[in-house]
Amino acid sequence: MRRVRYESTGGPLFLEEAPVPAPGPGELLVRCEAVGVTLPMVRKVTEAAEPVPLGGEIAGEVVAAGPGVTRFRAGDRVAGLCFGYGYAEFAVLHETMTTPVPDDADAVTAIALVRSGLVALGALDAARLAPGESVLVTSAASGVGHLAVQLARARGAGRVLGAVSGPDKADFVRSLGADDCVLYGDDDWGEPVDCVLDAVGGDLLTPALAALAPHGRLVAYSSGGGTVRAYDLLVGAKSVIGFQMALIARGRPELYERWRQELWQLFAEGALKPAVHGEFALEDVAAAHAAVTGRTNLGKVVLRP
């Protein structure tokens, strides 16, 4: 099979031939039909101390099931999070990190909806959004952010605001249901909000926290790091909540499944419409990564092995 690899931090990505992996206990071998490109994985290529397998979100058909697998069998269509080599024609998923894909949904839709949607919905739940409250979503045009905007509206938010890196994304974010859009460099982000869902981190944490109303909640689910001053929390009785999807998938599978069902239900009702920025072949992986690092994408970036 073909897979993508790199040999040094920041080094070029290249295709190589590799044996098809065998599923171990509790694992599934999946023929990859779509692979999601995420900012955390792109960052690992340039920031990790040593090369790591390029994994992440995959969707496709189960080819074989390892010992102990009870929920899936060959022929099932699934999506999930791969911690090994996922930029490949075949990949291994652990059963606990795998969800079924409905028969009427294609693999690209599953990639754009399931994993990114689970993160967006989980972050929204972590924010404890009440009907009528206001929400600001950073990186609002990204794979996760564009779904978070729609989910906030579907969950009854009274006002939804998107924050983006450039004015070329504003119309796209408004088309998702956002009431307005602000730029990261703007001095004033307008009326304070009850919740911020932050996928950027770093220096953006300061203005994101400042955008909160008293007693507001900021949910941080970025791999970008950053520092928050305790005084900035105390002065407005604000909260910062960390969210990580993998902990939910492993530790609270019933919640993970409930979120998954809600996503597909909203999709079936037309309330949630995943957008795909582009579909790239494996040999064009560098261009796919460039779309994410350059923050030019409107929606999800997908590889098609």
Q: Is the pLDDT of residue 286 over 90?
A: yes
Residue 232 confidence (pLDDT): 86
DSSP 60: E
Q: Which helix (H) or strand (E) holds 52?
A: none
Angle at CA of residue 133, ends 129 and 137, nearest 5°? 70
Using CA atoms, how far apart are residues 97 and 75, in angstroms rounded to an integer? 18
Q: Is the pLDDT of residue 223 over 80?
A: no
CATH architecture of 2-101+275-304: Alpha-Beta Complex (3.90)
DSSP 112: I
Token representation of residue 94: 């652990």
The domain limits of the chain are 2-101+275-304, 117-245
- 3-state secondary structure (DSSP) of residue 288: helix
What is the model's pTM?
A: 0.86
The residues, any chain, with a CB within 8 Å of residue 99's CB and separated by 6 or more, are: 78, 79, 80, 114, 256, 257, 260
Do 2-101+275-304 and 117-245 share a fold? no
Closest to 70 in 3D by CA, of 30, 29, 28: 28
Residue 96 confidence (pLDDT): 85
Question: What are residue 300's phi and psi, to 5 degrees?
Answer: -85, 140
Quick one: fold of 117-245? Rossmann fold (3.40.50)
Pairing verdict, β 159-164 and 2-5: unpaired
| Mean pLDDT, rounded, for 31-54 | 91
